[in-house]
Amino acid sequence: MSEKYLKNIEEQDYPNELKFVLDLLIQEWRDLASRIKILDKKIKDDSKNNETIQKIKQVHGVGVLIANIIYTELGDMSQFSNESKLFSFLGLTPTEYSSGERVRKGHISRQGPPRLRKILIEACWRNIQKDEVSKITFDRIAKTRGKKRAIVACARKLMGRIRASIRLDEDFKHQLV
C-alpha cells in the first residue's frame, strides 16, 4: 500500500471503533515497511563484499535478493561435480518412465528447494527479454513444446551458465547471436 492510500484511509470518517482498529493496523503497516527497508539495505550492503553474489547479479533479471537466495541455497556450487547433478538438485530434470527400449520423459522432478526453482523461473522470464541467446532458445522450444516447458529449459540453461561463470571465476558472459 502506498502512503497516499494510507493517508486517504486516515482521513475518512469511520465509526470510532473502526477508526481505532484502522489506526493500529496502519501503524503496524508503516512499522513493517520501515523494517523491510532496513533489511533490504542490510542485504544490499552485505552482498557488496561477496564476489560470488556479484557474479550472479551480472545476469539480466537477477537482482540483489535473487542473487542472495541463489548463493544461500547453492554457495559456490563446488558440491556439484557436474551440471547434471546441479540440475537434478534443483528439480529441473524431467522424470523418466522407461520400459525396455521405450524411453518416455515426463514432468520435472521437483526435487530440491521449490523457492529456488520459483525464483529461477521468474529471473528467466526477465532474462529472455534482454539476453538474445536465451530468447532464441525460448522461442525455439516454445514453438513446439509450449512456453512453460521452454522457460524451464531456459532456466536450466541459465543456471548452467551461472555455474560455469562461478567455477571458472569469470564475469558472466552475455552471449550475443
Do both 72 and 139 map to the same domain?
yes
In the chain (177 residues long), the average pLDDT of successive 10-residue segments reads 84 88 92 93 88 86 88 84 85 77 74 87 90 89 91 88 82 60
Do both 27 and 98 map to the same domain?
no
Do both 17 and 93 map to the same domain?
no
Quote the number of domains for the chain.
2
In a domain, 174, yes or no: no
Could you list the residue range(s) of the whole structural domain that residue 32 is in? Answer: 3-47
Instruction: Please give the pLDDT value at position 31.
Output: 95
In a domain, 15, yes or no: yes
Do both 37 and 64 map to the same domain?
no
List of residues 6+ apart from 14 with CB closer than 8 A: 22
The pTM of this model reads 0.75
Instruction: Please give the pLDDT value at position 95.
Output: 74
Do both 71 and 152 map to the same domain?
yes
In a domain, 172, yes or no: no
Q: How far apart are CA 47 and CA 64, in angstroms?
A: 7
Instruction: Please give the pLDDT value at position 174.
Output: 62
